[in-house]
């Protein structure tokens, strides 16, 4: 069976911290940052880069299209 490595890149200035992507992540590897963006919102960040499989569940639910998902077959 093929294995995949993924990563999520967050446009931090666009993210308003709605946390929908955190709930959608099947591996629960997204979380809120302690830092704020230029608009004063806490933004989402990838907490465990090695665990991401690039499923894009987070990107599908993001209402502002703040997430870019990359997936590579190993």
Regarding pTM above 0.85, the answer is yes
CATH number at residue 62: 3.30.70.20
Domain count, the chain: 1
- Listed as own residue / partner, the contacts of 54-59 with beta carbons closer than 8 Å and 24 or more positions apart are 54/4, 54/5, 54/6, 54/7, 55/6, 55/26, 57/21, 57/24, 57/25, 57/26, 58/8, 58/21, 58/22, 58/24, 58/25, 58/30, 59/8, 59/21
The string of pLDDT tens digits covering residues 28-67 is 999 999 999 999 999 999 999 999 999 999 999 999 999 9
Residue 9, domain extent: 4-73
């Amino acid at each position: 069976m093929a294995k995949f490595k993924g990563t999520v890149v967050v446009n931090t200035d666009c993210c308003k911290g709605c946390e929908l992507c955190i709930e959608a992540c099947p591996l629960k590897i997204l979380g809120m940052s302690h830092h704020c963006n230029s608009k004063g919102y806490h933004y989402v960040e990838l907490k465990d880069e090695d665990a991401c499989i690039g499923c894009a569940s987070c990107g599908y639910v993001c209402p502002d299209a703040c997430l870019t998902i990359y997936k590579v077959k190993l």
